[in-house]
């Protein structure tokens, strides 16, 4: 008999819908609550491979992610006049992952994952949890707009700024490691030039600006810049002001991109941080994805890890027939070391994305150029890209919407994965 069947999941980003899908497969009744009134669009693009890709495949999403995604050919670093000064062909990523590597919008991945649970699980949009009170056999949840309800378990999948984490574990600053950078992204239409499937990067000490051509005549711009410990502005107008001040003296296409920035109604802006917690659960409440263990954009794998944590948490709950203490303990035992290694790798990479000195920029560019030496890119990138964790096998009942045969029901052969 499975215990603790009803699970409230806060957040319909990446970890949230993945968790709902696998909980449903394990015989639970997930309910999702998302603060936004609808699924979010825009944002930024992510590289997607490894365990996240494997899980997406088991959910029957491979074709869709390749349909909406991009296959980047080249990473090109340019100087102030737009001349190529460094870079490399990205075929090494495809070789190392055997073609299981794609770049797609974070919101597109979120939408594809949500498509697997909308209609089969209850979803509340435009609301959020404002109070959580653990009782002997349940958690009493207070919603901002929707009154109160009881659930057996609650999971925070509400991202870096998790409200569930704050309510249950305390304020974010206790768990946050700021990496000294901020990130901003926005999209524009009709921007020229367009370099299809090329990630173009312009760098100055402590500042990086990237341009990536999207379909439908859209272009994505990504800023990563050093901030030290300064507090960051929290309104779009002041965020734009800070970006303008930081990039005003930049060459290349900086001034035109700042003009586009002035016109955009939607700006993604955040600190580059990691979340490191001594434990990912307390009582009947657990955390997944960025809420539990954000690795930051510098790891280039946060979405995959969010899906992996969701998959493992659901799997351990199914394995323990809903005994949450046992499942939560195992969930951490499987993942903690793996996540710590990813977090350490991201900190090492920080200096490479936006080096803070001219010498650092020059050195980074030399390393990139050396990637043309046969085998070197494979050696350097391989260590970071190949996952050392093997996805555990779990017994699932019926996973609706998965590719036939992709989700094993009990018993499972270890050779399948
Ligand atoms: C610029 C940038 C580039 C990145 N590049 C990559 C990459 O190349 N590859 C990669 O794998 N990862 C990348 N990442 C990281 C990746 O986007 C995150 O790790 C991933 O989105 C985490 O998923 P999540 O579901 O935990 O959180 P999120 O995706 O942040 O989703 C959280 C959800 O919770 C909702 N929410 C928030 N607060 C509440 C609340 N109080 N109540 C209810 N709902 C709430 C939000 O609206 C959102 O829908 C990048 C991140 C950034 C910023």
Cβ–ligand 1 distance for 157 under 6 Å, the answer yes
Q: Candidates 145, 186, 270, 306: which one to mutate for ligand 1, based on the most atoms within 8 Å of Cβ?
A: 306
Q: Candidates 155, 158, 225: which one to mutate for ligand 1, based on the most atoms within 8 Å of Cβ?
A: 158
Q: Candidates 46, 70, 277: which one to mutate for ligand 1, based on the most atoms within 8 Å of Cβ?
A: 46
Q: Which of 341, 285, 294, 344 is nearest to 313 (CA)?
A: 285
Confidence at residue 412, expressed as pLDDT on a 0 to 100 scale: 38
Rounded Cα distance between 126 and 12, Å, is 11
Confidence at residue 414, expressed as pLDDT on a 0 to 100 scale: 33
What distance in angstroms lies between residue 292's CA and the mean position of ligand 1's atoms? 12
312 within 8 A of 335, measured Cβ to Cβ = yes
Confidence at residue 410, expressed as pLDDT on a 0 to 100 scale: 53
Cβ–ligand 1 distance for 16 under 6 Å, the answer yes
Ligand 1 atom 50, closest CA: 297
Cβ–ligand 1 distance for 128 under 6 Å, the answer yes
Q: What is the pLDDT along the chain (417 residues), one digit of tens a residue?
A: 778 899 999 999 999 999 999 999 999 999 999 999 999 888 899 999 999 999 999 999 999 999 999 999 999 999 999 999 999 888 888 888 888 999 999 999 999 999 999 999 999 999 999 999 999 999 999 999 979 999 999 999 999 999 999 999 999 999 999 999 999 999 999 999 999 999 999 999 999 999 999 999 999 999 999 998 788 999 999 999 999 999 999 999 999 999 999 999 999 999 999 999 999 999 999 999 999 999 998 888 999 999 999 999 999 999 999 999 999 999 999 999 999 999 998 888 877 778 889 999 998 888 888 877 767 777 777 767 777 798 998 988 754 444 444 565 554 333 222
Q: Which atom in ligand 1 lies closest to the alpha carbon of residue 290?
A: 26
Cβ–ligand 1 distance for 203 under 6 Å, the answer no
Rounded Cα distance between 309 and 52, Å, is 10
Confidence at residue 407, expressed as pLDDT on a 0 to 100 scale: 60
Q: Which atom in ligand 1 lies closest to the alpha carbon of residue 44?
A: 1
Confidence at residue 409, expressed as pLDDT on a 0 to 100 scale: 56
Ligand 1 atom 23, closest CA: 14
Q: Which atom in ligand 1 lies closest to the alpha carbon of residue 272?
A: 53
Q: Which atom in ligand 1 lies closest to the alpha carbon of residue 270?
A: 53
Cβ–ligand 1 distance for 273 under 6 Å, the answer no
What distance in angstroms lies between residue 308's CA and the mean position of ligand 1's atoms? 14
Cβ–ligand 1 distance for 12 under 6 Å, the answer yes
Residue 212 is encoded by which pair of tokens?
């990536």
What distance in angstroms lies between residue 11's CA and the mean position of ligand 1's atoms? 9
Which residues is 409 bridged to in the sheet? 396
pTM: 0.94
What distance in angstroms lies between residue 268's CA and the mean position of ligand 1's atoms? 11
Confidence at residue 163, expressed as pLDDT on a 0 to 100 scale: 98
Cβ–ligand 1 distance for 290 under 6 Å, the answer yes
Q: Which of 277, 14, 292, 321 is nearest to 155 (CA)?
A: 292
């Amino acid at each position: 008999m499975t215990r603790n069947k009803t699970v409230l999941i806060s957040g319909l980003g990446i970890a949230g819908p993945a968790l709902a899908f696998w909980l449903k497969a394990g015989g639970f009744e997930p309910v999702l609550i998302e603060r936004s009134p609808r699924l979010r669009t825009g944002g930024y693009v992510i590289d997607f491979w490894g365990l996240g890709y494997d899980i997406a495949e088991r959910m029957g999403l491979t074709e869709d992610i390749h349909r909406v995604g991009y296959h980047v050919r080249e990473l090109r670093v340019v100087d102030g006049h737009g001349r190529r000064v460094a870079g490399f062909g990205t075929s090494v990523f495809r070789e190392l992952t055997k073609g299981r590597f794609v770049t797609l919008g974070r919101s597109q991945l979120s939408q594809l994952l949500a498509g697997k649970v909308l209609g089969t699980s209850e979803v509340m949009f435009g609301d959020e949890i404002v109070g959580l009170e653990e009782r002997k056999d349940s958690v009493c949840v207070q919603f901002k707009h929707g009154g109160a309800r009881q659930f057996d378990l609650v999971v925070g999948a509400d991202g870096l700024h998790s409200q569930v984490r704050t309510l249950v574990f305390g304020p974010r600053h206790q768990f946050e490691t700021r990496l000294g950078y901020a990130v901003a992204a926005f999209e524009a239409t009709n921007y020229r030039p367009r370099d299809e499937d090329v990630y173009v990067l312009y760098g100055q000490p402590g500042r990086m600006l990237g341009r990536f051509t999207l379909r439908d005549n859209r272009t994505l711009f990504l800023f990563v810049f050093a901030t030290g410990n300064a507090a960051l502005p929290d309104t779009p107008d002041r965020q734009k002001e800070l970006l303008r001040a930081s990039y005003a003296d930049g060459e290349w296409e900086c001034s035109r991109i700042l003009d586009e920035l002035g016109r955009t109604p939607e700006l993604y802006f955040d600190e580059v941080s990691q979340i490191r917690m001594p434990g990912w659960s307390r009582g009947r409440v657990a955390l997944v994805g960025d809420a539990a263990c954000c690795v930051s954009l510098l790891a280039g794998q946060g979405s995959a890890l969010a899906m992996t944590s969701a998959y493992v948490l659901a799997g351990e709950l199914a394995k323990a027939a809903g005994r949450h203490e046992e499942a939560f303990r195992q969930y951490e035992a499987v993942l903690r070391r793996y996540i710590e290694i990813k977090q350490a790798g991201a900190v090492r990479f920080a200096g490479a994305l936006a080096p803070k000195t001219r010498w650092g920029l020059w050195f980074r560019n030399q390393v990139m150029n050396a990637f043309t030496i046969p085998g070197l890119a494979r050696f350097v990138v391989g260590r970071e890209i190949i996952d050392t964790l093997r996805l555990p096998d779990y017994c699932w009942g019926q996973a609706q919407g998965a590719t036939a045969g992709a989700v094993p029901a009990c018993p499972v052969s270890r050779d399948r994965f």
